[in-house]
Chains A and B, each alone.
Chain A
Amino acid sequence: MEQPQLLLPEGDANFSSIEDYKAQRGYEAAEANVGKTNPEEIVSIVKESGLRGRGGAGFGAGMKWSFLPKDGRRPRYIACNGDESEPGTFKDRQILERNPHKLIEGLLIAGWANTIDAAYVYLRGEYRGPYENLCRAIDEAYEAGYLGKNILGSGMDFDIYVHRGAGAYICGEETGLMESLEGRKGQPRKRPPFPAVSGLWKQPTLINNVETLAHVPAIVLDGAKHFLSYGTEKSSGTTIFGISGDVQRPGAYELPFGMPLDEMIETVAGGVAPGRKIKAVIPGGTSMPVLTADQIKGLPMDHDSVQKAGSLLGTGAVIVMDDRQCMVRAALVIARFFRHESCGQCTQCREGTGWIYKLFTKIESGQASMEDIDTIDEVANYMEGHTICGLADAASWGAGWFVRRFRDEFEAHVELKGCPLAETSFEV
């Protein structure tokens, strides 16, 4: 059996039709299971495969499926998260553009396994091309009888609707996503109740990322053991890493978990430009703590190893910065993002993200004192763990760890009253 593969070869980069997909064993898993296999058995296979959510948190997908109540309450929904707004992340887009039927089949199998009535795929509004591709693929799937009424003679009716967001990072947070889908501002809800019990329109709702669901067909078709034979013990299978920033071959690369980060940057993404050195790497999107060049040496790209090294794997979005770049500016860009994207609900986040941004701006322009650097750390600490959702935590880590790991550069800005790397660094 071959390595599980989400993306078809680059040659078919534009759109893979249902015929292209079927030529790659597409819909075989659905045909063999929907209406035939006991749903609980499918949930067990997914659990056994160790599939972890690919949306950033890495929670066990099968475990999440098993949280849905068994009280017979209908309708039940899937809210598929395709908001993909974590800076550095562009993996779901690859699936939607290049192999959208993978997601449709994943939704269909998840639908059968969890007795779901309808799925809503929430796509970020900017993804117009991916939206059109997915809609086209969904039309094909309806025509082929994989969606609609009494699918494959199973007695199951199942519909997929695509819902466009409109430019708000917070709608990638699962309860913000549901608020937005229901036609409101994307302000996250308090938990409990959890979405599994009371989600979309207060009905039981399963929320999975696009990539997570796209892995399901191969797992069901080739078995949990096969999936487990790729990656590491606790981060099984493959994932789409997005490598960007100062590398010679930036792009989306589908690889098993566990390749050392420095090796991945060097051999897969072509390394930094000749004569340059890696200075800093964010391993999982800008919500995750930045790592120094020393910290990434031999660091296996799996959830546990990255956490042990002092960051998180997040969405596998690797952002590389070389030795020309100013770390104060990098932190400033990240702080600007969170200030813009805070939904404004919780005081610590609304005020904290603005305060941190102002402090970075002050440092970058050479107007700050040493106390301002300590204030960032203090504000970051106040923000963490005190709000309805994780955005404040992310803003706190994203900013705070730049200060903790590159403090000398922040202090140099104070001492020199300006940027010591102004000649070489990117501009903000």
Chain B
Amino acid sequence: MALSEELKSRIRAELPKYPEKRAVLLTALHFVQEECGGWIEPEVIPEVAEILEIPPIDVKEVASFYAMFNESAIGKRHVRVCTGLSCCLRGARSLQDAFEEELNIRPGEVSEDGCFSIGSVECLGSCGSAPVLQINTRTYLENLSPADAPAILENLRREITEDEAETA
């Protein structure tokens, strides 16, 4: 998938903030991931490299170093359960188990309908409202219990349907 001209201009608009083009790399990868299906496809790496005038391997290296950049396809909603100590103490394990059971997938897999994937994440910085999870790279859901899993998934399914109705 090639980067749209609009996305390229968004990336270029970040350049004046820094004395060196390379500094925009993390921002560029965030933009790409958000607009191109939630992961960094290998095809886009040379394009990002060209805008920032750095070797493609430098882009790949950075994309693989940071946990938020996905190197393989994820579901339309990616559920990441926090596994920090404070969340573990308040039941993060059973929370993650509940999602895995409900969706019948394991970390790294995508549900058959392409809607969901699941993973764990190191401390999300929300320890006072543990256990917590993050949807994609945006919404935090806090003070959860395993019993909340079905309702959360139902809401997310509704969200996906609404999104798709909007694009159609």
Using a CB–CB cutoff of 8 Å, the interface residues on chain A facing chain B are: 75, 84-90, 93, 124-129, 161, 163-169, 180-186, 201, 242-246, 250-252, 282, 286, 317, 319, 321, 325, 329-330, 333-334, 336-337, 340-341, 426-428
Q: A87: which of B67, B84, B94, B138 is its contact (CB, 8 Å)?
A: B84
Residues of chain B contacted by A165 (CB below 8 angstroms): 26, 66
The complex places the Cα of A166 from the Cα of B94 at a distance, in Å, of: 26
Q: Does B88 contact A (CB under 8 A)?
A: yes
The 4 closest A-B pairs by CB, nearest first: A167-B67, A166-B66, A167-B68, A244-B127
Closest-CB distance, B148 to chain A (whole angstroms)? 18
The answer to whether B125 and A168 have CB atoms under 8 Å apart is no
The answer to whether B93 and A427 have CB atoms under 8 Å apart is yes
A129: nearest chain-B partner, CB-CB:
B140
B14: nearest chain-A partner, CB-CB:
A161
Q: A245: which of B17, B24, B85, B124 is its contact (CB, 8 Å)?
A: B85
The answer to whether B30 and A164 have CB atoms under 8 Å apart is yes
The complex places the Cα of A242 from the Cα of B94 at a distance, in Å, of: 24
**Given A126-B137, A168-B67, A245-B86, A185 and B61 contact (CB-CB distance below 8 Å):** yes
The complex places the Cα of A47 from the Cα of B128 at a distance, in Å, of: 32
Q: Does B45 contact A (CB under 8 A)?
A: no
Residues of chain B contacted by A169 (CB below 8 angstroms): 122
Residues of chain B contacted by A336 (CB below 8 angstroms): 83
The complex places the Cα of A166 from the Cα of B18 at a distance, in Å, of: 18
The complex places the Cα of A60 from the Cα of B127 at a distance, in Å, of: 27
Q: B84: which of A129, A185, A201, A337 is its contact (CB, 8 Å)?
A: A337
Q: Does B104 contact A (CB under 8 A)?
A: no
**Given A129-B140, A180-B26, A183-B23, A244 and B130 contact (CB-CB distance below 8 Å):** yes
**Given A250-B127, A427-B93, A427-B94, A183 and B122 contact (CB-CB distance below 8 Å):** no
Residues of chain B contacted by A201 (CB below 8 angstroms): 19-20
The complex places the Cα of A86 from the Cα of B23 at a distance, in Å, of: 24
The complex places the Cα of A250 from the Cα of B85 at a distance, in Å, of: 14
The complex places the Cα of A329 from the Cα of B67 at a distance, in Å, of: 24
The answer to whether A87 and B123 have CB atoms under 8 Å apart is yes
Closest-CB distance, A363 to chain B (whole angstroms)? 17
Most buried by A among B17, B26, B69: B26
- B21-62 CB mask vs A (1 if < 8 Å, else 0) is 011111101100000000000000000000010100010011
28 A-B pairs with C-beta separation under 8 A: A85-B123, A86-B123, A88-B86, A88-B123, A125-B66, A161-B18, A166-B26, A166-B30, A167-B121, A180-B26, A183-B23, A183-B52, A185-B61, A185-B65, A186-B65, A245-B86, A245-B89, A250-B127, A250-B128, A252-B128, A286-B84, A319-B86, A319-B127, A330-B85, A337-B84, A426-B89, A426-B91, A427-B94
Residues of chain A contacted by B65 (CB below 8 angstroms): 168, 185-186
The complex places the Cα of A124 from the Cα of B123 at a distance, in Å, of: 11
Closest-CB distance, B89 to chain A (whole angstroms)? 5
Q: B89: which of A85, A321, A337 is its contact (CB, 8 Å)?
A: A321
A282: nearest chain-B partner, CB-CB:
B85
Closest-CB distance, B19 to chain A (whole angstroms)? 5
The complex places the Cα of A184 from the Cα of B58 at a distance, in Å, of: 8
**Given A161-B17, A333-B85, A341-B122, A168 and B66 contact (CB-CB distance below 8 Å):** yes
